[in-house]
Amino acid sequence: MHHPTLCAVAVAVLAALPGAQAGLYSKKSPVLQVDGTSYDRLIAKSNYTSIVEFYAPWCGHCKNLQPAYEKAAKNLAGIAKVAAVNCDEDENKPFCGQMGVQGFPTLKIVRPKKGGGKPMVQDYNGARTASGIVDAVVQAINNYVVKVEDKNLDKFLDEKKESPKALLFTDKGTTSSLLKAIAIDFSDVITVGQVRNTQTKAVEKFGITKFPTLVLLPGGDAPAVTYDGELKKEALVTFLSQAGSPNPDPAPAKGKAEKKKTEKKPEKKAEKKAEKKSAKEEEPSSSAADSETETATQKAPVIVETALPIPTINTPEKLIKECLTEKSHTCVLAFVSSSENDSAKKALESLAQLSFKYAQGKRHLFPFFEVPKSTDGAGSLLKALDLNNEVEIIAINARRGWWRHYEGTDFAHASVESWVDAIRMGEGSKKKLPEGIIAIAVEEASSAATPEPEPTPATPEATESSSVADEPTPVTPEASSSSEASESTETKPTDPTPEAETAAEHDEL
Ligand SMILES: *[C@@H]1O[C@H](CO)[C@@H](O)[C@H](O)[C@H]1NC(C)=O
Ligand SMILES: *[C@@H]1O[C@H](CO)[C@@H](O)[C@H](O)[C@H]1NC(C)=O
């Protein structure tokens, strides 16, 4: 610290040093550790803006930066990537050289190019404080959020009508980092827009009464769904995932590292044993760490909340195609005469929740459909099965020729779930489908038109092909900047959206 030049050792000299020291960031650190090999995949090809610290464990300024850097990483969890490369490791030395690193620490902001290609790499020479770093990184986050106003609302809604959209209604004029992050997660999957509370036509159209409110438009004619869960990234992403899978590379979430430590992962048995052992040996410190972890888990977003309605079958062709061909697997069908009826509402909501729960756990479950009784063919099917209540839920497997009836009169989530569980487990008895039941439906359908075309799923194309890094720009060694440096950064804000938030608010909509 007293001799800043000590840290400004040329990389070439480093090579001559004996064995490398352990890195500054432990496995538990919120700072993502990258090396020459993983940089390309985790940083250069990411859709997320990153900041990367090139450091050496023996460098005093690097040690001084560590707490602020970890704080920045926590603050930017789920929003941007905060990474570090230990340039003291032999295998990283050529990479640090390639990146033009001449002194430690060197901080670089890596901003992906919209539409793919090599990212922009820019040195961060601002204050070595958490807020200085966070502000600069947040400025460099790409903004894919569309500003929607009354006058372009229809255009926004009509464009790519079949594909899902999300609209955030907000009383803010700026776009939050969190919403930008969500738009990045779902880039090319869900179009994300933002509407200000002053846009009365839009606000009225969606019946918005509080701000912020997120509305999901699943696409096509599917009705809009208003989210009423927690306004935290994980919960929001889970909700939106019902309409399309997020891109494969999210910014690391809060508490990810801690979770890894305690989660019961079978493949990490050996590690766990070792941990247990050391827990015994160092009772006080490790129990402190455990209680920290528990708080983190407790704070983790609770599971949702707003499930998308199950899809509707309202033509006989669709009924046959989805559930009644001789190759059809199990389908759950909820026959309702009016979705306004309380029992019907409850039944449909329970099925939606259940379907959501499975989707979220990425578990496979047979499809659920709502079938209005007015659908051609529905009446004769119900009659053949001797079903005549207001709401009837059945499971049907045309391939194996069986069906099962939900006997309950209460359509609460738990009752419906245990019925579905029994089917999944193959428990309980199946009824044989009456002879010719498929023929009945087919006959009803035969007069109708050709089957509807399947909506083609959006296939996100991988357009990126960036190589390791941009030409490394020479770095001014360490000496000039100190941690007391002014708050202004030299990283140019290229985003037109003004960002007024303080460092503490980036996880809010
Ligand atoms: C980046 O976004 C594109 C869509 O814009 C997507 O196809 C791609 O998978 C994303 N990349 C990663 C690494 O998530
Ligand atoms: C729903 O259906 C049940 C059973 O037919 C009926 O008793 C009830 O009045 C209906 N409720 C509404 C709101 O239509």
* Site residues for ligand 1, CB cut-off 6 Å: 45-47, 187-188, 247-249, 460-462
167-207 pLDDT, tens digit each: 999 999 999 999 999 999 999 999 999 999 999 999 999 99
393 and 483, same domain (yes or no) = no
* Most ligand 1 atoms within 8 A of CB, residue of 188, 190, 237, 465 to mutate: 188
For residue 465, give the ligand nearest its CA. Answer: 1
Phi and psi, residue 102, nearest 5°: -120, -15
Query: How far, in Å, is the centroid of ligand 2 from the Cα of 430?
Result: 29
137 and 161, same domain (yes or no) = no
| pLDDT number for residue 26 | 92
Query: How far, in Å, is the centroid of ligand 2 from the Cα of 341?
Result: 6
351-378 pLDDT, tens digit each: 998 988 887 776 788 999 999 999 988 9
* Most ligand 1 atoms within 8 A of CB, residue of 46, 47, 459 to mutate: 47
Q: Whose CA is nearest to atom 9 of ligand 2?
A: 341
Find the CATH number of the domain harbouring 187: 3.40.30.10
The better pLDDT of the pair 227, 489 is held by 227
244-294 pLDDT, tens digit each: 989 988 888 865 443 433 334 444 444 444 444 443 333 333 333 333 333
Q: Which domain holds residue 483?
A: 10-142+477-493
For residue 373, give the ligand nearest its CA. Answer: 2
Three-state secondary structure call for residue 504: helix
319 and 447, same domain (yes or no) = yes
132 and 18, same domain (yes or no) = yes
Average pLDDT for the chain? 78
346 and 389, same domain (yes or no) = yes
Three-state secondary structure call for residue 332: strand
| pLDDT number for residue 488 | 36
CA–CA separation, 311 vs 316, rounded Å? 15
Residue 299 host element (H or E)? helix 283-299
Q: Which two tokens stand for residue 32?
A: 């993502």
281 assigned to some structural domain: no
Domain boundary among the residues 215, 240, 265 is at 240
| H helical segments located in 86-145 | 93-98, 130-139
When pLDDT is cut at 50, 70 and 90, the band that residue 482 belongs to is: very low
Whether the bond between 434 and the residue before it is cis, its omega within 30 degrees of 0, is no
Instruction: Give the count of domains, the chain.
Output: 3
233-240 vs 177-185: helix crossing angle, rounded to 10: 40
125 and 150, same domain (yes or no) = no
109 and 191, same domain (yes or no) = no
Residue 108: Cβ within 10 Å count = 25
286-342 pLDDT, tens digit each: 333 333 333 333 332 223 457 888 889 989 889 999 999 888 899 999 999 987 889
Query: How far, in Å, is the centroid of ligand 2 from the Cα of 226?
Result: 26
Q: Is the pLDDT of residue 94 over 50?
A: yes
